[in-house]
Amino acid sequence: MCLWSGRWSAVMSNPFAHLVEPLDHNKPDRKFYNLLKLRDPRYDRLPFSIRMLLESAVRNCDGFLVKQSDVESILNWEQTQTQSVEVPFRPARVILQDFTGVPAVVDFAAMRDAVANLGGDPEKINPVCPADLVIDHSIQVDFNRKTDSLQKNQDLEFDRNKERFEFLKWGSKAFRNMRIIPPGSGIVHQVNLEYLARVVFDQEGFYYPDSLVGTDSHTTMINGLGVLGWGVGGIEAEAVMLGQPISMVLPEVIGYRLQGAPDKLITSTDIVLTVTKHLRQVGVVGKFVEFFGPGVAQLSIADRATIANMCPEYGATAAFFPVDHISVQYLEQTGRDAERLDYITRYLKAVAMFRDYSNTCQDPNFTQVHELDLSTVVPCCSGPKRPQDRVAVSDMKTDFEACLAAKQGFKGFQVAPERRNAEVSFRYSDQEYSLSHGSVVIAAITSCTNTSNPSVMLGAGLLAKKAIQAGLSVKPYIKTSLSPGSGVVTYYLKASGVMDYLFQLGFEVVGYGCMTCIGNSGPLPDPVVEAITQGDLVATGILSGNRNFEGRVHPNTRANYLASPPLVIAYAIAGTVRINFDTEPIALNSKGKEVFLRDIWPTREEIQAVEREFVIPAMFKEVYEKIEKVNERWNDLTASSDKLYTWDPKSTYIKSPPFFSGLTKELQSPRSITDAYVLLNLGDSVTTDHISPAGNIARQSPAARYLTSKGLHPRDFNSYGSRRGNDAVMARGTFANIRLLNKLLNKQGSHTLHLPSNETLDVFDAAERYQEAGLPLIILAGKEYGSGSSRDWAAKGPFLLGIKAVLAESYERIHRSNLVGMGVIPLEYLAGDTADSLGLTGRERYTVVIPDTHTPRMVVDIKLDTGKTFKARMRFDTDVELTYFHHGGILNYMIRKMSENKRDRVVPCRTPASAMRMAPLSSV
């Protein structure tokens, strides 16, 4: 809740103040806005997720930031949902992880400098909404299959990231209202689910629903607990932290009815991969999905959170499960106290936000309804390159072999017929082994998606126990790992007696954090890499994660499959994905006997019995009571208490960014983009993994050359993720993905054509030449540009490369917002137009004509040096986004507002863009 929201002066000026009443007359100081007193029949028809948007608008209505007309628009959702109606939303809190959190804190520090330079008070740059930052993305799987792997990996994490951690420690002191959870605590989304989530806030005398935005796309996981939240760009999250509401288009809400009960051999991962494929086919990009129906009651909160976690993979903004009695049971199981459970239940029932999934009378109206019968779900994986490409386990062998033969693409590797059965021998630990296409070389139980779910984690443990008892093992060259989402997982795996069996198969705990799923998989053994390279093999990674885009998991695993933790172990034992578990044995045991997967697979009943016995509230309390102080190395870090950060010019991790160089108080009128060159000509489904620097820093890359010039050796390069606080590294790593297909060269790689000289250069080097010559740049792209993780550097990097606009067929929601936040114009072809239909090659020069007056989603002219002219849409979807555009980005706008030396609130401009453009800053 922002600072002034709970003040009585704000309450009394609220036109809905008459709705305020005590929840409990024995506690008259604890009040809430009773939405039922609106006595509006439209309220009962609203989806539960929209009711949460309405409550925020009612509670924060001041006639300025939030108007009565905004409340009316939300109440009138059924009529306005498809009309691109803009409404403000003020989340209750913000959550960050360190990959996105470090650059956010860097920006805050730089903004303080900029405000000071403009004569303002730098301490105004300070979070006014609660913000939690969980350090979970910095640890890598450098060591595995050792008794001390966890300690060694954590020691390396600190050695590599000491500068970053010291900087974050400074931030925790310098900025009010920011809590930092130290490394080694767990994955941000699981910590959020088990510990940080309030479900209902009790703050400044008011009860209100918990809601949040986060700087990670899988923030949606919290929707499984009935907390409305989704991922936003780091830039947008920073504005929310500074008091800005989110300006959003009122979404359509797709009702997803679940019925039936899953088979006893089905896991929640199988359900979520089925849902992901179905909703991707339905088309839910930019929409809310709300689950209802009797089948929801069949799912635990961990199951629901798994489904909600994968929301970005099916493209929705949020995937919401309203709170019910199972939610309350989960809160009790995870150690929340009885008083909290009481007011959560009473409040949500008082405002008709407590769900009974068996009561169809509670079913609201939806934009559309789709259904899934849980009894039809079969065991499955997804891959080899996208999370929505579900494959039934029974079809894995034939599907993979079809992928080998298929043309290069999302489901193809285009391996020549004579090479499809290639086999390469190698020696490892003085034994002879061989690899072929489909051989598993990475098997990781990892990621927020599944490690939060006791059913699949215990299922993996029980499978491991049965496998060991059957005499099975995993080949030692396969990189196996277990990275739990919190210490609670280790607690119940040990208590239930399955941890020893996991260890015997090679799945020992290697760290607590987001590891293999984001590319922190660490190195493969040299003999394995040499064999893969020698045979040009399509080696495989199998992981319980949510992302498997090319080049993400490891450079040497061209095929990667998402699977449940038990299936990760199964494929590790088999050693290949070219197996049909229905008809072929998973392996021969130590006595030469065939063992089938069905012989060792645990049933849901077995798993649930163990879960009931061993997943208890005491373990959650014990783990989380000491979470902020348990890491001794974090506790020992020293940090300055100065309000302005002292930048170290020698640091290669933390650097003051150039985003605000030359910023003036006065607005600069937006200008047309004249004679821009195309830096890259890209196709469909270019992800933020292709754009934003991620994973290891290649030794021959521009980033490596920069770090070498600073005196670093390759062993000290660390990852791009760890260096997100240094713009010089990140700009050099933008578009450095080895799988990026650039049509200017018609091949994959991190190069492009410098058109004036016709030279092939690294993308950064080409962009640098263009900038030195003062030449603007644009990017051409196809459908779903920027899909994937919500990486702010996917917008910051292109901005630093001199890219003024992107021209695409469509955008992923978060990435488009990030481009807006950085002042890069997102242009969209008109319906029916594409680069191909317009005959664009990328070798033309482009002039984007920006008129004097602007409106949301306006159409502009694009002129080519060939004489051709066509039209495109500027995807500034709201007046607020146009405001940011006029200021050159959201952070520039915030700095100007903070530099006014007034004691007013920081608010978005609500004036028409045409009037705002020529207005002095004081009137904006």
Give 799-841 as a 3 state SS string: HHCCEEEEEECCECHHHHHHHHHCCCEEEEECCCCCCCCCCCC
Segment 783-806 shows an average pLDDT of 89
Q: What percent of the chain has pLDDT over 70?
A: 96
Helices (H), 481-557: 487-495, 499-504, 526-535
pTM score: 0.82
Q: What percent of the chain has pLDDT over 90?
A: 67
The predicted structure's pLDDT at residue 902? 52
The predicted structure's pLDDT at residue 9? 58
Question: Out of 179-183, 400-404, 569-573, which region has the weakest mean confidence (pLDDT)?
Answer: 179-183
Query: Whole-angstrom Cα distance, residue 701 to residue 739?
Result: 14
Do 630 and 186 touch, CB atoms closer than 8 A?
A: no
Q: Which helix (H) or strand (E) holds 110?
A: helix 98-117
What secondary structure does DSSP assign to 10-79, as a single string?
HHHHSTTGGGEEESSTT-TT-EEE-GGGG--HHHHHS-HHHHHHHHHHHHT--SSSS-HHHHHHHHTHHH
In the numeric block, which tokens belong to residue 340? Answer: 């909290």
Do 482 and 509 touch, CB atoms closer than 8 A?
A: yes
Segment 251-266 shows an average pLDDT of 94
> What confidence tens digit (pLDDT) does each residue in 449-459 have?
777 788 899 99
The torsion defined by the Cα of 662, 667, 672 and 678, in degrees rounded to 10, comes to 40
| pLDDT at 366 exceeding the cut of 50 | yes
Query: Whole-angstrom Cα distance, residue 551 to residue 553?
Result: 6
For residue 871, the SS3 value is strand
**CA atoms lying within 13 Å on the CB side of residue 777:** 28
What pLDDT band is residue 908 in, cutting at 50, 70 and 90?
Answer: very low
What pLDDT band is residue 81 in, cutting at 50, 70 and 90?
Answer: confident
Question: Cα 341 from chain centroid?
Answer: 29
Question: Cα 280 from chain centroid?
Answer: 17
| pLDDT at 128 exceeding the cut of 50 | yes
Amino acid, res. 593: K
| pLDDT at 669 exceeding the cut of 90 | no
Do 519 and 719 touch, CB atoms closer than 8 A?
A: yes
DSSP assigned state of 630? -
What 462-465 contacts at long range (C-beta under 8 Å, 24+ apart), as own/partner pairs, is 462/498, 462/602, 462/606, 462/607, 462/610, 463/566, 463/569, 463/570, 463/600, 463/601, 463/602, 464/498, 464/501, 464/502, 464/504, 464/505, 464/507, 464/569, 465/497, 465/498, 465/501
The predicted structure's pLDDT at residue 909? 35
Beta-carbon neighbour count of residue 429 at 10 Å?
9
For residue 532, the SS3 value is helix
> What confidence tens digit (pLDDT) does each residue in 36-77 have?
999 999 999 999 999 999 999 999 998 877 899 999 999 999
The predicted structure's pLDDT at residue 915? 27
Could you tell me how many helices (H) and strands (E) the chain has, helices first?
Answer: 34, 36
Q: What share of the chain is helix, strand, coil (3-state, %, to 5)?
A: 40, 20, 45
The predicted structure's pLDDT at residue 789? 66
Query: Whole-angstrom Cα distance, residue 210 to residue 200?
Result: 5
Segment 119-135 shows an average pLDDT of 90
Query: Whole-angstrom Cα distance, residue 215 to residue 774?
Result: 33
Q: What beta strand segments (E) does 604-660 contain?
A: none
Amino acid, res. 365: N
Query: Whole-angstrom Cα distance, residue 261 to residue 271?
Result: 11
Q: What beta strand segments (E) does 155-305 contain?
A: 178-181, 200-203, 206-209, 211-214, 228-231, 246-249, 253-259, 288-292
Beta-carbon neighbour count of residue 69 at 10 Å?
11
Segment 236-264 shows an average pLDDT of 90
Through-space distance between the first and last CA atoms of the chain, rounded to whole angstroms: 25
Amino acid, res. 608: Q
> What confidence tens digit (pLDDT) does each residue in 805-837 have?
999 999 987 789 889 989 999 999 999 999 999
Do 397 and 578 touch, CB atoms closer than 8 A?
A: yes
Question: Is residue 453 left, alpha or beta, with left meaning phi > 0 and alpha meaning psi from -120 to 50?
Answer: beta
Q: In which residue are the tokens 């703050």 written?
A: 203
Do 33 and 20 touch, CB atoms closer than 8 A?
A: yes
